[in-house]
């Protein structure tokens, strides 16, 4: 069954969506959409470096994205530097370096399109094992730091005063997002990774009364988006990454319409 590229694509996509949902909730709550985008942009440099040093691109990406997260974490200490400014410089700076390296190093040929927009149908058995193992580790770590991370998100001072290791859980969270981005690049690509993080979470907000419920709903909505997007891609022969993001946006709009209509009906 795993021989079928569609089954592999579906499994890989669902595993990534299950992790992206809960992580995406924190990205939404902490208003870090641009943070995710910045780390994704640095991914191209990771691809170039990976190819340059002849290691797997996904490993190069993971390392460079983690470094970008650490750089952001460090830049956050400077109160005189607005965080969106730091993010913008790092996003475009690292993308620029990635493009320059890709273009100037002789013998380095990069299929830009597959990295920018994803290539889910090319997921192999090895990729699947890595994504699965990584996903289980990521969800376990997230469950372990959940209460602390949520407390730090609701009110940083309060959490820290009451003994939550705020700096540590924020760092762990940033690393989890970095790793997810490296994995999700294969699914939807550098330019669309953020959509996979924030769209299911935003959809889940309309369906949830607690942070935990929102995390579960976001995972579920992500799975629907991956399945629907792959179906759409088969049906229309459209590129898979953009189709998945399109499916996620359609799910958001449907939920928005239905919940708004219901609320109006209840109020009438």
Partner 1 sequence: MDTGPDRLAPLPDRRVLASAQALAVAFGGRTVLSGVDMDIAAGEIVTIIGPNGSGKTTLVKALLGLVPVTEGAAGLAKGTRIGYVPQRFAVDTVLPLSVNRLMTLTARADNRAIATALDRVGVGHLRRADVASLSGGETQRVLLARALLRQPDLLVLDEPVQGVDFAGEAALYALIGELRDEMGLGVLMVSHDLHVVMAATDQVLCLNGHICCAGVPSDVSRHPEFLRLFGRQAAATLAVYRHDHDHDHDLHGEVVSDHDHSHDHSHENSHDHTH
What are the residues binding partner 1 (CB under 8 A)?
28-29, 31, 147-148, 150-151, 153-155, 157-164, 205, 208-211, 213-214
Cβ-contact 241, 188 below 8 angstroms: yes
Minimal distance in Å, beta carbon 219 to partner 1?
16
Nearer Cβ to partner 1 (100/213): 213
Tabulate helix, strand, coil % of the chain (nearest 5): 80, 0, 20
The two tokens of residue 251 are 């799910």
Nearer Cβ to partner 1 (106/163): 163
Minimal distance in Å, beta carbon 249 to partner 1?
18
Minimal distance in Å, beta carbon 193 to partner 1?
20
d(CA 9, CA 266): 41
Minimal distance in Å, beta carbon 54 to partner 1?
43
Q: Tokens 């209840």, residue? A: 266
**What contacts 34, CB < 8 A, 6 or more positions away?**
84, 87, 88, 91
Minimal distance in Å, beta carbon 168 to partner 1?
15
Nearer Cβ to partner 1 (126/260): 260
Nearer Cβ to partner 1 (60/219): 219
Nearer Cβ to partner 1 (101/164): 164
DSSP character at residue 122: G
């Amino acid at each position: 069954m795993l021989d079928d590229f569609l089954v592999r694509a579906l499994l890989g996509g669902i595993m990534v969506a299950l992790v992206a949902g809960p992580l995406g909730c924190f990205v939404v709550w902490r208003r870090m959409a641009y943070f995710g985008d910045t780390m994704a942009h640095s991914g191209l440099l990771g691809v170039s470096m990976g190819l340059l040093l002849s290691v797997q691109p996904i490993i190069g990406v993971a390392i460079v994205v983690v470094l970008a997260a650490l750089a952001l974490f460090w830049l956050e200490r400077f109160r005189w530097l607005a965080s969106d400014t730091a993010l913008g410089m790092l996003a475009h700076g690292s993308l620029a370096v990635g493009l320059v390296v890709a273009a100037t190093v002789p013998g380095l040929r990069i299929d830009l399109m597959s990295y920018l927009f994803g290539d889910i149908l090319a997921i192999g058995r090895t990729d699947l094992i890595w994504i699965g193992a990584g996903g289980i580790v990521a969800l376990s770590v997230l469950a372990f730091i959940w209460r602390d991370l949520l407390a730090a998100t609701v009110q940083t001072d309060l959490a820290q005063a009451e003994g939550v290791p705020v700096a540590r859980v924020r760092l762990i969270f940033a690393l989890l997002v970095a790793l997810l981005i490296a994995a999700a690049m294969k699914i939807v690509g550098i330019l669309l990774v953020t959509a996979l993080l924030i769209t299911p979470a935003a959809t889940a907000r309309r369906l949830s009364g607690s942070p935990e419920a929102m995390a579960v709903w976001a995972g579920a909505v992500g799975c629907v988006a991956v399945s629907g997007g792959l179906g759409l891609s088969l049906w229309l022969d459209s590129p898979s990454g953009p189709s998945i993001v399109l499916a996620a946006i359609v799910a958001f709009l449907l939920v928005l319409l239905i919940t708004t209509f219901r609320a109006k009906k209840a109020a009438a």
